[in-house]
């Protein structure tokens, strides 16, 4: 329902959000490459670099023709793949608006580690809920959910300029956009059936969001307060 455009929180500790921008560029570049492939090659690309829970937990074996990287490494490579263009745009928009401030609170180097940990935690939670699942899990949602959890702990009342129904500009507190993000994730997973929906929802909430909310305290600079103080 809301499209976030810009928040009212300038950077204070870093000159530029280099990691946030780099991730956005990488995800867009991978998606463009992915969509340029023939249909069969695109499917192989997704299965080779996405995280397949049944393969991750050795329930099933990946056929040799699909093998691209070690199975555990797909927990990282899957973060840079997206199945649909609107899913990519939604993820990158939220990363652009909220990621820079989280990166600013901990510095770019620690932010890389934070981003990877929350993304991996979300992927593992997703896979653990349904270890029999043979569909490839892709998308930056897990890592971005960690960013959203961190932002909620840091700046829940910061005003964010957003478009409601894509037309009406409003300034809303960040926690409203965070709720909208959850709704977006639930909607995005709704087409995969009830099992996929629960796995996606559980991975997002228990893996990414909560991990980000907990880790932001030790990862942040000590001079950065919590909860808008």
Mean pLDDT by 10 residues, the chain (229 residues): 84 95 97 92 92 91 88 94 88 93 97 96 86 88 91 92 81 85 67 49 72 95 90
Residue 200, pLDDT score: 57
* Residue 186 domain-assigned (yes or no): yes
Residue 195, pLDDT score: 44
* Residue 227 domain-assigned (yes or no): no
Mark out the alpha helices in 37-166 (DSSP H runs).
Answer: 39-49, 53-56, 74-77, 85-106, 108-129, 141-154
Close Cβ partners of 66 (under 8 Å, ≥ 6 residues apart): 44, 47, 48
3 state SS of 5: strand
Domain of residue 8: give its range: 2-219
User: What does DSSP say about strands 2-7 and 159-164: parallel, antiparallel, or unpaired?
Assistant: antiparallel
Surface-to-core class of residue 106, CB atoms within 10 Å of its CB (0-12 exposed, 13-18 middle, 19+ buried) = buried
Kindly report the pTM of this predicted structure. 0.90
* Residue 228 domain-assigned (yes or no): no
For the chain, how many helices (H) and strands (E)?
10, 3
Closest-CA residue to 147 (of 225, 91, 82): 91
Residue 203, pLDDT score: 66
* Residue 99 domain-assigned (yes or no): yes
Residue 101, pLDDT score: 96
* Residue 226 domain-assigned (yes or no): no
**CATH number of the domain to which 151 belongs:** 1.20.1540.10
* Residue 137 domain-assigned (yes or no): yes
Number of domains present in the structure of the chain? 1
Residue 154, pLDDT score: 95
Residue 170, pLDDT score: 85
- DSSP code of residue 137: B
Q: How far is CA 159 from CA 32, 78, 92, 184, 200, in A?
A: 33, 32, 19, 20, 28
Residue 135, pLDDT score: 86
């Amino acid at each position: 329902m809301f499209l976030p455009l810009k928040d009212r929180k300038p950077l204070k500790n870093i000159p530029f959000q280099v990691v946030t921008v780099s991730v956005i560029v990488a995800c867009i570049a991978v998606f463009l490459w992915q969509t340029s492939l023939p249909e069969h090659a695109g499917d192989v690309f997704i299965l080779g670099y996405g995280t397949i829970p049944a393969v991750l937990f050795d329930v099933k074996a990946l056929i040799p023709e699909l093998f691209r990287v070690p199975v555990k490494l797909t927990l990282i490579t899957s973060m840079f793949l997206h199945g649909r263009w609107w899913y990519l745009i939604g993820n990158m928009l939220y990363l652009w608006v909220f990621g820079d401030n989280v990166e600013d609170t901990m510095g770019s180097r620690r932010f890389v580690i934070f981003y990877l940990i929350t993304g991996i935690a979300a992927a593992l939670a997703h896979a653990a809920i349904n270890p029999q699942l043979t569909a490839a899990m892709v998308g930056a949602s897990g890592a971005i959910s960690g960013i959203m959890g961190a932002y909620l702990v840091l700046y829940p009342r910061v005003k964010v300029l957003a478009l409601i129904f894509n037309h009406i500009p409003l300034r809303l507190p960040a926690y409203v956009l965070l709720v909208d993000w959850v709704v977006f994730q639930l909607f995005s997973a709704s087409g995969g059936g009830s099992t996929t929906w629960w796995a996606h929802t559980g991975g997002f909430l228990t893996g990414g969001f909560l991990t980000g909310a907990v880790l932001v305290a030790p990862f942040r600079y000590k001079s950065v307060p919590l909860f808008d103080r």
